[in-house]
């Protein structure tokens, strides 16, 4: 065992392959991360456009009273798309409450994904169908689960890799530490993916950590860390793709920190002007992940107006599906209150269910 930690340290600068103007970064070919193939980039642009449309549609649906609240990932869509795109079908994704778009990227129906925020039921989708865990609302508690899913797969000799998502604030929680430590000790195939958007609601990163970067935290566990430009789709696909491939090949866990920015408030209930300047937000508009990738692909002649129209149409189709689904009122079944507490309801729960059924029957009789 080497005690030299250098192989665990992130590069001095975040990995970037395409600059803010959409140009391939000179010399980037020489990094450890070759650019993703063109088809993957074109596919990612389509997904990015759908992701943005979903974010903005969901945000609008809050204003229309169809969703209680929506923690938007507007501005962070490249992270969302990349996290889903680098996984194979048998892999698992563990999303936080801000990662609805990543869950949709794995195939979860957006209407079902937003059941939580519509108030119909906590988790509206079947986690086993697309291997997407329920949204984690408590911070970092999903990370030890991700390690467990990965370790179970290892024990059975299955090639599963788990993408465990987390925000910058979540890295302060004890479960972040315990999950990384467990993953390292058990050599679990987990990619810990931190979207560092600079704020935990209002609290800036400087109040979360004094570490040189969040990726540096991996050193303490023996987990390699890497930093990546979180608005650079190509760099994200390259870095996360390499981490997944490494984990699948038996290389163990990895920690990836993406530097990005939440363009909107924490949720629609938050007032971001109380803790950050307009100028700061404006600077990040210049680094928008969609503009960068679209410019890059147009400049290289990999897409044309027709392709963009197709992408826009697909995004609109998904938004319409979301709108229609959320505008449809489905009366929740009160029997569900008691049906899933245990595999078989206890005698006490059967009594309580009967009480509600009786209340309902008397209401109906009135």
Nearest to 118 by CA among 103, 105, 100: 100
Both tokens of 32, joined, read 């450890």
Q: Please tell me whether residue 145 binds other proteins under the rule CB under 8 A.
A: yes
In degrees, rounded to 5, the angle at the alpha carbon of residue 176 between the alpha carbons of residues 267 and 109 is: 50
Task: Please report whether residue 192 would count as binding other proteins according to CB under 8 A.
Answer: no
Residues 332-361 that bind other proteins (CB under 8 A): 336, 339-343, 346-348
DSSP string spanning 242-287? HHHHHHHTT---EEEEEE----S-SSTT--GGGTS-HHHHHHHHTT
> Does 108 contact other proteins by CB under 8 A?
no
Query: Which residue's entry shows tokens 């699948």?
Result: 248
Whichever of 88 and 336 has its CB closer to other proteins, that residue is 336
Q: Mask: binding to other proteins, 226-265, rule CB under 8 A, as x and -?
A: --------------------------x-------------
- State the CB neighbour count (10 A cutoff) for residue 158: 11
141 binds other proteins (CB under 8 A): yes
Looking at the Cβ atoms of 221 and 311, the one nearer to other proteins is 221
Q: Given the complex with other proteins, which of 174 and 304 has the nearer CB atom?
A: 174
Q: How far apart are the first and last CA of the chain?
A: 76
Of these, 16, 41, 133, 219, which contacts other proteins (CB under 8 A)?
133
- How far apart are alpha carbons 31 and 34 in whole angstroms? 7
- Smallest distance from other proteins to CB 179, Å: 7
Q: Which position among 172, 186, 246, 321 is part of the footprint of other proteins (CB under 8 A)?
A: 186
Range 209-228, binding other proteins (CB under 8 A): 222
Smaller CB separation from other proteins, 77 or 175: 175
| Cα–Cα distances in angstroms (integers) from residue 220 to residues 111, 185, 254, 347, in the given order | 40, 12, 12, 49
- The pairing of strands 199-200 and 190-196 is unpaired
Give the interface with other proteins as residue ranges (CB under 8 A): 1, 92, 121-123, 126-128, 133-134, 138, 141, 143-157, 160, 174-175, 178-179, 181-182, 184-187, 222, 252, 336, 339-343, 346-348
């Amino acid at each position: 065992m080497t005690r030299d930690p250098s192989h665990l340290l992130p590069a001095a600068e975040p990995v970037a392959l395409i600059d803010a103007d959409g140009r391939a970064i000179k010399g980037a070919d020489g990094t450890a991360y070759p650019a993703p193939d063109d088809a993957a980039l074109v596919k990612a642009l389509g997904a990015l456009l759908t992701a943005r449309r979903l974010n903005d549609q969901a945000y609008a649906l809050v204003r229309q009273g169809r969703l209680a609240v929506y923690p938007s990932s507007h501005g962070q869509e490249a992270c969302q798309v990349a996290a889903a795109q680098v996984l194979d079908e048998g892999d698992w994704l563990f999303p936080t409450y801000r990662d609805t778009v990543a869950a949709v990227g794995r195939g979860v129906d957006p209407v079902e994904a937003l059941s939580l925020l519509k108030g119909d039921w906590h988790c509206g989708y079947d986690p086993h169908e697309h291997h997407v865990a329920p949204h984690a609302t408590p911070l970092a508690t999903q990370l030890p689960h991700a390690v467990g899913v990965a370790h179970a797969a290892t024990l059975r000799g299955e090639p599963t890799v788990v993408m465990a998502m987390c925000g910058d604030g979540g890295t302060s929680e004890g479960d972040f530490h315990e999950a990384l430590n467990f993953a390292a000790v058990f050599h679990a195939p987990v990619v810990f993916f931190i979207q560092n958007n600079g704020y935990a609601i209002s609290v800036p990163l400087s109040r979360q950590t004094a570490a040189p970067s969040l990726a540096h935290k991996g050193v303490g566990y023996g987990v390699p860390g890497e930093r990546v430009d979180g608005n650079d789709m190509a760099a994200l696909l390259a870095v996360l793709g390499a981490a997944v491939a490494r984990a699948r090949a038996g290389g163990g866990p990895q920690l990836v920190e993406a530097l990005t920015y939440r363009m909107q408030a924490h949720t629609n209930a938050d007032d971001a002007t109380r803790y950050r300047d307009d100028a700061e937000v404006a600077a990040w508009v210049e680094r928008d992940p969609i503009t960068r990738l679209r410019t890059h692909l147009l400049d290289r002649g990999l897409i044309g107006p027709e392709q963009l129209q197709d992408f826009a149409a697909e995004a609109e189709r998904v938004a319409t599906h979301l709108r229609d689904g959320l505008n449809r009122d489905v009366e929740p079944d009160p029997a569900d209150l008691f049906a899933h507490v245990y595999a078989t309801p206890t005698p006490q729960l059967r009594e309580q269910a009967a009480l509600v059924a009786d209340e309902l029957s008397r209401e109906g009789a009135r």
